[in-house]
Structure formats: C-alpha cells, structure tokens
C-alpha cells in the first residue's frame, strides 16, 4: 500500500511538470505564431518588397531637360552624360576590400567614399549609394571593362546640364541646381527629372515646361548586381520642351568682349518688336559650376566678390540715369508749354535757385552759350534742363517718366526685377514727412538726386521714343505670351524733335558722341554720366580717395538706328567708368559695328556709296580710326 501511495505522489508530480512544460511549449509556439503573423501578414508587403529587391531592381530613366536655343538655332543649354559611381551594399560581400580596390584602381579617396557609405547607413541594403557623382569618362570605362573585379559597384549614366558657351548670357539663361524640399510633392513620373530644377533666368522661368516625364525598366540582377534580363516592357522617358530665345549669341559675344574687364550691363533690343537680342551683366559667372551642385569654395568666391557677379544688373541694378533722363524733362517741358522748339536759354555754366547760395553747375565749364532744345540735347546742357525742370515741376516730371515706363517693372518675366524710383511730392511726404523743395528739382531734371532706374528701363524708355510712342514689351522667348503692345499717348512732333537732338549727339558738330558716327547708318544716341556721390561730399575727400574707383561716376550710352527706321537699340552701362562718351560709347560702337557688318540688311536705295574704294570697305574698317 505504501509503495502504491508513493507511485501516486510521483505521478502527481510528473503530471504537474508535464502541465508546466506543456504551458511553456504552448507559450513558445504562441510567440512564434504571433511573430509569424506579424512578419507575414502585418509586415508581409514590406519584406516581400525586400525579397524582390534581392533579385529585381527598378532602373529609372530620368527624362532629359529641354534644350535652350538662341534665335538662330545655336544651343545655349543642353544635357551631357554624367557617370555616377554607385555601390549597392547587398551585392558587395567584402565592403572594405571592394572600396580599397576602387580607390587604388581609380585613384579615388577611400576615406571620402567610406564617409558617403556611413552617411547613408539608414538606406536599404539593396538601394544604391552614390560614391562619385561625376566620374571622368576614362575611369568610368575602366570600371565598366573590369566590373567583375568590383562586385556591387556600377556605373550609372545620368543627364547633367551643360552650357557650351560657359559665362555668355549666364544671367539671362540662368542655372540649375538640386531641388530640396518640394521634390516629394511632385508626381512619381516627374521625380527623377525634377531633382534638377532651374534656380534663375530662363531655366527658372520655363522650368515647368522643360521638365519631362521619367521612364524606366524592371531588371533581374545576379548576386553581384549585374543585370541579367529586363522584366516586362520598358517605359520610355519623354524629354521636356525645348525653348527658343530671341537672343542672338553673336551679339552676346561681341557685347561681352566689348565690356571685358568692366562691371555693369549691356542690352541689345529690336525697338520695333521688343525682342531682347542680347543681355549681359558683368562680372558674370559660369553656370556649369552649379549643374552638379556648386562646391563651397566656388560659392564663397562668388558671394565674396564686391562687384556682385550673381546679380543681374540689367534688371536688378539701380542707378541714376543721368543725362539720358533729359529726354523725359524735354518732353514734359514741350507738353506743358514750358518750352517750345524755339525756346532758348543762355548757359554760362551755372544755374541759381532763389534761397540757395551755391549754384547748380553745367558739366561744361564756362557753359554752352545760347542753346535751343536740339542744341541742349546735342551738347547735354545741364542749365537748359535745370530751367525746364523747374518750370515743369517734379510732379509733371514724375507723370511723364511713368509714361515712358520708368518707376515700374517692365514685366520682362525674369525674377527679382526692380522698379526703381521716380520721386514726387506725394512720395517725399510719405517717405520723409516733409514736402518737396524746389531746390531738389534741378537734380531730378537731369536724372540725378532720388531718381533710380534699371538699364532695362532706360533702353525701354528709348525704344518708346524711337518707336513713335508705341511700347513693345521686352520679350525673351520666340513664342512669348503675356503683355501686349501699347500705344503711349505721346505727341509725334515732340518725339520727333527729341530724336532730332539725339541724332545730333552722334552726327553734328559739338555732339557728345561723334565718335559713334557711321557713314551709311544714321545713329541717334545719348550719353550720360551719373554721380555716385554728391559734389559736396567729393570736396571733403583727399586726392587719393577721389581717385578711388568706387567714387568714380557711372558711364552710360544708349543708341538706336537707323534713326529714320530703327531696328536695333543698344545700351551700355559701365559702373564707375567715368564719362559716358569716353567709356560707354565705345562699347556700343563695337556692337553696332558688328551688327552693321554681319546682320543689318539695308533697304533698297538706303545704302549710299561715295566711291569705288569705299564700296569695298567694311563698316568696321572705315570706323577703325573713329576713336582716338
């Protein structure tokens, strides 16, 4: 009996142990089952994609960005192949050894490549890491040839923006860069090509049109990442739209050569159509620096340049227009009856305002003597326009300056265009809480004082004058939509009289720009010299400071021709260049000379020949001694 009792007790203990063991087993299997449920059901899609990624790769085909052409079909911006050195860790059995081989074979920094891998440690193992963004062609071909020696390392060809003319028209064409925050918001089919977007100029203005639709293919790869076969049908990419500009790269080249070593801006237009044939800002930059992301050294150099190479001075630079503004004062005087074509003033070099002891001076010491309006424009007589401006008043000057397009943006479409400033009584009261004083009007009458304009506004004003009051909006694109032409309510007789004065500037004795005269091509022009500091301030400086370039006047010259039927207008602004006739006029002359020799087609009977010898000589040859 005792033995049987022990057996029952032992059986109870065994039973308890079995129950506990069974519970543990059930718990373990429950945990395993729940984990399997999590992996296969909850996270099943994720790991299925990972598994698929072990053998199937999506190979994208980014769409090519649209090409930019000039008016004659010259390529200004295109796409070139960039060879990316990529590594997929999943296909690289010995990462350190592979990096060492690549470093030695291609003469690349092991440390830099390793840093790239560390920076992407969160990236899925089967996704590529870019080790080198733009590898030299020879190195790329070497790796392609001996790819079996570099498991997991591949060469992928990506489109890279390329500007064959480098710095030419950089501010107008613009540049591209790598997109930042907005990329993820784009449609899937535009993501790859949209990683490179326009950051300025035409590249930004037409960015949405130049971005294409991406394509791609699914490819099966082996354990080393090599493509075995394409799965399914590839989807071809669709390139972005091409863009044709009104720009003539030939004139752009001439303008750049003529401004070599100077800072400022040059603009060439067709006043009849508003087409911008050339637009340059100096100093300039090479947009190719930005195509793959600019390095810190080059970026710092551009930002540190005191002459601001990243600023498009043609539309963003604000300058006193100086004597070119006299055409506005002249028109205001005629329209308001303050002067007539026959009105004369005596210029003895000084002009006095009641209550002011210091006179306003004419640029010509001793004065111009007795002059009428045409003479005053021809010789750029300050005293004549002091008288006219005071008679008209600042508010009327403001009114007619606005009619000529000053004090407001032109609407050319380029980003950050500035409006400048044309002062008035209302503006003075609003800004300084004080009225406009008559002693401020003489400076305004000759384009100084508070007045600021951009070079594009100034040539736009001259185009209105040359085009009988018809405003043709400045246009960059061959097929440009937007602002429409507008007839400005200006009187033809007054415009004609001012044009007569501008023709005299270049072609008559005593004109300020006689050296720009052409024998068979009548040019109308206007010089200007705008002060950067007042005469009062200048007198406080010592001789060394006065000679400093930063205190030298800005030099302007603007011209159009042929005067009787204008088809080209040219403006040059040379920052701190000194006199307009000495510095800016030669720049315009070189551009006009090229235009006449190579582009201009005289109308029947318009060209005149004086002798057999003259007939065989080019305009530029005849002008070789024009400047001395």
Q: How confident is the model at residue 430 (pLDDT cuts 50, 70, 90)?
A: very high
401 exposure class (CB count in 10 Å sphere: 0-12, 13-18, 19+): buried
Contact, 469 vs 495, CB < 8 A?
yes
Give the list of residues 6+ apart from residue 547 with CB closer than 8 angstroms, or none.
Answer: none
pLDDT at 623: 32
Q: Which residue has the higher pLDDT, 594 or 609?
A: 594
**SS3 assignment, position 353:** coil
Sign of the alpha-carbon dihedral angle for 379, 380, 385, 386: negative
d(CA 563, CA 560): 6
H-type alpha helices, 146-248: 170-173, 201-205, 207-210
Tell me the domain boundaries of the chain: 57-244, 249-286+293-602+612-622
Quote the CA–CA distance of 159 and 167 in Å, as a whole number.
21
Q: Which of 103-107, 213-217, 607-611 has the highest mean pLDDT?
A: 103-107
- Choosing from 192, 291, 323, 475, the catalytic residue is 323
Short-list 186, 445, 154, CA closest to 322:
445
DSSP-derived 3-state class of residue 388: helix
The whole-number average pLDDT for the span 263-284 is 97
Predicted pLDDT of residue 179? 66
249-286+293-602+612-622 architecture in CATH? Answer: 3-Layer(aba) Sandwich (3.40)
Q: How far is residue 132's CA from residue 136's CA, in Å, rounded to a whole number?
A: 10
- Assess whether 323 carries a catalytic annotation: yes
What the block records as the tokens of 454 is: 């951009």
Residues 13-30: what's their mean pLDDT?
Answer: 79
At 234-248, the pLDDT tens digits run: 778 888 999 999 999
- Predicted confidence (pLDDT) per residue in 204-221, tens digit: 999 999 998 888 777 776
Cβ contact 309:302 at 8 Å: yes
Q: Which helix (H) or strand (E) holds 88?
A: none
Count the helices and strands in the chain (H runs, E runs): 24, 21
Taking 70 as the threshold, does the pLDDT of residue 621 lie above it?
no
Which range is least confidently modeled, 54-68, 256-270, 523-537, 543-557?
A: 54-68
Q: How far apart are alpha carbons 98 and 117 in whole angstroms?
A: 13
Interaxial angle between packed helices 455-466 and 326-335, expressed in degrees from 0 to 180 and rounded to the nearest 10: 40
**Position 266 pLDDT exceeds 90:** yes
| pLDDT tens by residue, 269-279 | 999 999 999 99
pLDDT in tens, 307-358: 999 999 999 999 999 999 999 999 999 999 999 999 999 999 999 998 888 8
- Yes or no: say if 272 and 467 are a contact pair by the CB < 8 Å rule: yes
Of 44-53, 131-140, 282-291, least confident by mean pLDDT is 44-53
Asked if omega into 283 is within 30° of 0 (cis), the reply is yes
Q: What gap in Å lies between CA 228 and CA 166, rounded to an integer? A: 41
With 60 as the cut, is the pLDDT of residue 70 above it?
Answer: yes
Dump the DSSP string for 347-413: ESSEE--TT-SSPEE-SSTT--EEE-HHHHHHHT-HHHHHHHHHHH-HHHHHHHHHHTTTTS-----
Answer whether CATH 3.30.310.40 is correct for domain 57-244.
no
Residue 12, CA distances (Å) to 3, 6, 15, 17, 26 in order: 14, 10, 5, 9, 21
């Amino acid at each position: 009996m005792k033995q049987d009792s022990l057996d029952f007790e032992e059986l109870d203990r065994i039973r308890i142990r079995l129950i506990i063991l069974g519970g543990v087993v059930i718990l373990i299997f429950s945990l395993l089952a729940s984990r399997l449920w999590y992996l296969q059901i909850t996270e099943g899609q994720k790991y299925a994609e990972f598994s698929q990624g072990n053998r199937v790769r999506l190979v994208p085909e980014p769409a090519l960005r649209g090409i930019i052409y000039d008016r004659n079909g010259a390529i200004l911006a295109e796409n070139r192949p960039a060879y990316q050195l990529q590594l997929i860790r999943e296909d690289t059995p010995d990462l350190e050894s592979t990096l060492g081989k690549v470093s030695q074979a291609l003469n690349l920094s092991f440390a830099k490549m390793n840093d790239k891998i560390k920076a992407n440690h969160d990236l899925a193992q089967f996704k590529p890491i870019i080790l080198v963004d733009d590898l030299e062609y020879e190195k790329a071909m070497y790796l392609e040839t001996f790819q079996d020696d570099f498991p997991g390392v591949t060469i992928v060809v990506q489109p890279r923006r390329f500007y064959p003319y480098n710095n030419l028209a950089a501010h107008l064409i613009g540049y591209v860069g790598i997109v930042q925050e907005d990329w993820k918001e784009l449609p899937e089919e535009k993501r790859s090509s949209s990683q490179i977007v326009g950051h300025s100029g035409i590249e930004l203005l037409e960015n949405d049109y130049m971005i294409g639709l991406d394509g791609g293919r699914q490819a099966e790869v082996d354990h080393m990442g090599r493509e075995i076969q394409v799965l399914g049908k590839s989807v071809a990419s669709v390139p972005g739209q091409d863009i044709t500009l009104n720009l003539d790269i030939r004139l752009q080249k001439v303008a750049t050569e003529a401004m070599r070593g100077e800072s400022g801006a040059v603009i060439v237009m067709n006043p009849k159509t508003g087409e911008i044939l050339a637009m340059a800002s100096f100093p300039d930059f090479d947009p190719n620096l930005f195509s793959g992301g600019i390095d810190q050294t080059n970026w710092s150099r551009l930002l540190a340049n005191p002459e601001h190479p990243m600023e498009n001075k043609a539309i963003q630079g604000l300058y006193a227009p100086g004597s070119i503004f006299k055409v506005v004062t002249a028109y205001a005087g005629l329209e308001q009856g303050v002067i007539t074509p026959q009105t004369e003033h005596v210029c003895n070099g000084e002009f006095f305002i009641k209550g002011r002891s210091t006179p306003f001076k004419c640029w010509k010491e001793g004065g111009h003597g007795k002059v009428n309006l045409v003479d005053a424009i021809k010789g750029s007589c300050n005293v004549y326009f002091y008288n006219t401006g005071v008679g008209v008043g600042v508010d009327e000057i403001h009114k007619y300056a606005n009619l000529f397009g000053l004090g407001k943006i032109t609407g050319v479409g380029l980003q950050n265009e500035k409006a400048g400033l044309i002062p008035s009584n209302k503006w003075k009261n609003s800004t300084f809480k004080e009225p406009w004083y008559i002693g401020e009007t003489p400076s305004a009458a000759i384009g100084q004082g508070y007045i600021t304009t951009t070079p594009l506004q100034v040539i736009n004003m001259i185009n209105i004058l040359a085009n009988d009051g018809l405003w043709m909006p400045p246009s960059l694109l061959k097929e440009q939509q937007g602002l429409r032409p507008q007839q400005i309510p200006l009187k033809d007789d007054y415009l004609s009289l001012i044009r007569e004065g501008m023709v005299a500037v270049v072609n008559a004795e005593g004109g300020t720009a006689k050296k720009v005269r052409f024998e068979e091509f009548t040019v109308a022009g206007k010089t200007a010299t705008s002060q950067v500091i007042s005469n009062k301030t200048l007198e406080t400086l010592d001789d060394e400071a006065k000679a400093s370039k930063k205190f030298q006047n800005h030099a302007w010259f603007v011209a159009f021709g042929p005067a009787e039927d204008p088809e080209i207008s040219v403006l040059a602004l040379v920052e701190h260049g000194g006199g307009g006739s000495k510095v800016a006029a030669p720049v315009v002359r070189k551009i006009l000379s090229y235009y006449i020799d190579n582009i201009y087609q005289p109308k029947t009977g318009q060209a005149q020949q004086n002798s057999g010898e003259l007939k065989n000589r080019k305009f530029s040859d005849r002008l070789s001694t024009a400047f001395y």
